Structure 1
Amino acid sequence: MRDLLIVSIVGVMALMALKRPWIGVMLWTWISIMNPHRYTYGFAYSAPLAAVAAGATLLGLLFTRERQSPFQGPPMVWFFVLSLAITFSWLFGMDPVGDFPQWDKVMKIYLMTFVAAMLLYTKHHIIAFAWVTVGSLALLGLKGGIFTILTGGNHRTWGPIGSFIQDNNEFALAIIMAIPMLHFLQLQLKSGWMRHAASITMLLCAASALGSHSRGALLAISAMGLLFWWRSQRKGPIALMIGVVVLALLPMMPEHWWDRMHTIRTYEEDASAMGRINAWIVAWEVAKNHWFGAGMSYQHEILFMLYGVYDQKTLAAHSIYFQILGNHGFLGLFLYLAMWVSAYRAAGWLNKHARNNPETRWAADLGAMAQVCFVGFAVGGAFLSLSYFDLPYNVMVMVVLAKRWVVTRAWEREAPVSFLEYAGLGRFQRRNSAREITARAQGQR
Structure 2
Amino acid sequence: MRDLFLLAILPFLLYAMTKRPFIGLGLWIWTALFFPNGWVYGMASNIRYNLLFTGVTVLCYMAQKHKPKLHLGGLGAMVLLFFLWTTASTAMTLASPEVSWDIWSRFAKVMMLFLFVLLIVEKKLHIEFILWCVVLSVGFYGNLEALKFIASGGGHKIAGMHGHVLGDRNELSLAFVMTLPICYYLLGEYRNRSRVVAVALLGTMCLLVTAVVGTQSRGGFIALTGFGAYLFLKTDRKIPILLLVSVLALGLSYFVSDEWMSRMDTIESVDGDASFMGRVVAWKLSFILAVQNPFFGGGFKSLEYFPVWAELSRDFFSYEWFYTGDALPHTDVGRAAHSIYFQVLGDQGFAGLAIYLTFLGGAFLKAGRIARDVKSEGCLKWVGSLATMLQLSLFTFALGGAALSLAYFELVFAIIALLIVLESRVLRAVRSQQHVDESSATTEAVTRRTAETAATS
Q: CA deviation at 1:8?
A: 3.8
User: Alignment RMSD, CA only?
Assistant: 1.9
Q: CA deviation at 1:46?
A: 4.0
Q: Which moved more, 1:371-380 or 1:146-155?
A: 146-155
Q: Which moved more, 1:374-383 or 1:43-52?
A: 43-52
Separation of aligned partners in 2, 1:341 and 1:356:
25
Question: What are the Cα deviations for residues 63-98 of structure 1, in whole angstroms up to 9, with x where unaligned?
Answer: 213433443433212111111111111111123333
Separation of aligned partners in 1, 2:161 and 2:9:
19
Percentage of matched positions with identical amino acids: 29
Separation of aligned partners in 2, 1:338 and 1:105:
22
Q: CA deviation at 1:172?
A: 0.4
Separation of aligned partners in 1, 2:8 and 2:348:
40
Q: CA deviation at 1:302?
A: 2.0
Say whether the 8 Å CA contact 2:89–2:299 is kept in structure 1.
yes
1:154 equivalenced with 2:155 (yes/no) = yes
Which has the larger Rg? Answer: 2
Q: CA deviation at 1:57?
A: 1.1
Residue 289 of structure 2 corresponds to: 286
Say whether the 8 Å CA contact 1:130–1:398 is kept in structure 2.
no
Q: CA deviation at 1:251?
A: 4.8
Q: CA deviation at 1:411?
A: 5.6
Give the secondary-structure state (helix, strand or coil) at the position aligned to 2:378: coil
Matches within 5 A, 1:156-175: 156-175=157-176
Say whether the 8 Å CA contact 1:14–1:56 is kept in structure 2.
yes
Distance 1:83 1:252, change over 3 A: same
Q: 2:376 aligns with which of 356, 362, 366?
A: 356
Say whether the 8 Å CA contact 1:14–1:52 is kept in structure 2.
no
Separation of aligned partners in 2, 1:69 and 1:320:
32
Distance 1:98 1:192, change over 3 A: closer
Separation of aligned partners in 2, 1:409 and 1:199:
31
Residues paired across the two proteins, number: 414
Matches within 5 A, 1:65-76: 65-76=65-76
Q: CA deviation at 1:297?
A: 1.0
Residue 101 of structure 1 corresponds to: 102
Say whether the 8 Å CA contact 1:3–1:37 is kept in structure 2.
no
Distance 1:117 1:9, change over 3 A: farther
Question: What are the Cα deviations for residues 19-75 of structure 1, in whole angstroms up to 9, with x where unaligned?
Answer: 432221112111111112211122322421111111111111222134334434332
Q: 2:385 aligns with which of 361, 365, 385?
A: 365
Residue 125 of structure 2 corresponds to: 124
Give the secondary-structure state (helix, strand or coil) at the position aligned to 2:201: helix
Separation of aligned partners in 1, 2:395 and 2:208:
17
Residue 374 of structure 1 corresponds to: 394
Q: 1:231 aligns with which of 234, 242, 245?
A: 234
Q: CA deviation at 1:301?
A: 1.1
Give the secondary-structure state (helix, strand or coil) at the position aligned to 1:175: helix
1:195 equivalenced with 2:198 (yes/no) = yes
Distance 1:102 1:11, change over 3 A: farther
Give the secondary-structure state (helix, strand or coil) at the position aligned to 1:408: helix
Matches within 5 A, 1:406-445: 407-410=427-430, 412-413=432-433
Separation of aligned partners in 2, 1:68 and 1:143:
38
1:262 equivalenced with 2:265 (yes/no) = yes
Q: CA deviation at 1:303?
A: 2.3
Structure 1 stretches lacking a partner, 5+ long: 415-445
Question: What are the Cα deviations for residues 284-341 of structure 1, in whole angstroms up to 9, with x where unaligned?
Answer: 1111111211111121212221223412341111111111111111111111111111
Distance 1:123 1:339, change over 3 A: same
Q: CA deviation at 1:161?
A: 2.9
Say whether the 8 Å CA contact 1:347–1:371 is kept in structure 2.
yes
Say whether the 8 Å CA contact 1:15–1:56 is kept in structure 2.
no
Say whether the 8 Å CA contact 1:186–1:198 is kept in structure 2.
yes
Separation of aligned partners in 1, 2:358 and 2:122:
24
Structure 2 stretches lacking a partner, 5+ long: 317-327, 435-457
TM-score normalized by structure 2?
A: 0.86
Give the secondary-structure state (helix, strand or coil) at the position aligned to 1:252: coil
Matches within 5 A, 1:365-404: 365-404=385-424
Say whether the 8 Å CA contact 1:232–1:368 is kept in structure 2.
no
Q: CA deviation at 1:116?
A: 1.4
Residue 437 of structure 1 corresponds to: none
Return the letter of the residue paired with 1:209.
V
Say whether the 8 Å CA contact 1:286–1:293 is kept in structure 2.
yes
1:307 equivalenced with 2:307 (yes/no) = no
Return the letter of the residue paired with 1:152.
G
Residue 334 of structure 1 corresponds to: 354
Distance 1:350 1:9, change over 3 A: farther
Q: CA deviation at 1:180?
A: 1.1
Give the secondary-structure state (helix, strand or coil) at the position aligned to 1:147: helix
Say whether the 8 Å CA contact 2:185–2:386 is kept in structure 1.
yes
Return the letter of the residue paired with 1:195.
A
Separation of aligned partners in 1, 2:52 and 2:424:
30
Return the letter of the residue paired with 1:73.
G
Separation of aligned partners in 1, 2:253 and 2:357:
33
Q: CA deviation at 1:406?
A: 5.3
Residue 25 of structure 1 corresponds to: 25
Say whether the 8 Å CA contact 1:176–1:220 is kept in structure 2.
yes
Separation of aligned partners in 2, 1:152 and 1:330:
47
Say whether the 8 Å CA contact 1:10–1:27 is kept in structure 2.
no
Separation of aligned partners in 2, 1:90 and 1:325:
14
Q: CA deviation at 1:220?
A: 0.9
Give the secondary-structure state (helix, strand or coil) at the position aligned to 2:23: helix
Return the letter of the residue paired with 1:244.
V
Residue 253 of structure 1 corresponds to: 256
Question: What are the Cα deviations for residues 188-233 of structure 1, in whole angstroms up to 9, with x where unaligned?
Answer: 1022332222111101100001100101111111112110111223
Residue 56 of structure 1 corresponds to: 56
Q: CA deviation at 1:124?
A: 1.1
Residue 321 of structure 2 corresponds to: none
Return the letter of the residue paired with 1:301.
F
Residue 36 of structure 1 corresponds to: 36
Q: CA deviation at 1:246?
A: 2.6
Distance 1:387 1:70, change over 3 A: farther
Question: What are the Cα deviations for residues 128-173 of structure 1, in whole angstroms up to 9, with x where unaligned?
Answer: 1111123321111111221222223222211233211111111100
Say whether the 8 Å CA contact 2:117–2:418 is kept in structure 1.
no
Q: Which moved more, 1:304-313 or 1:30-39?
A: 304-313
Separation of aligned partners in 2, 1:278 and 1:368:
36
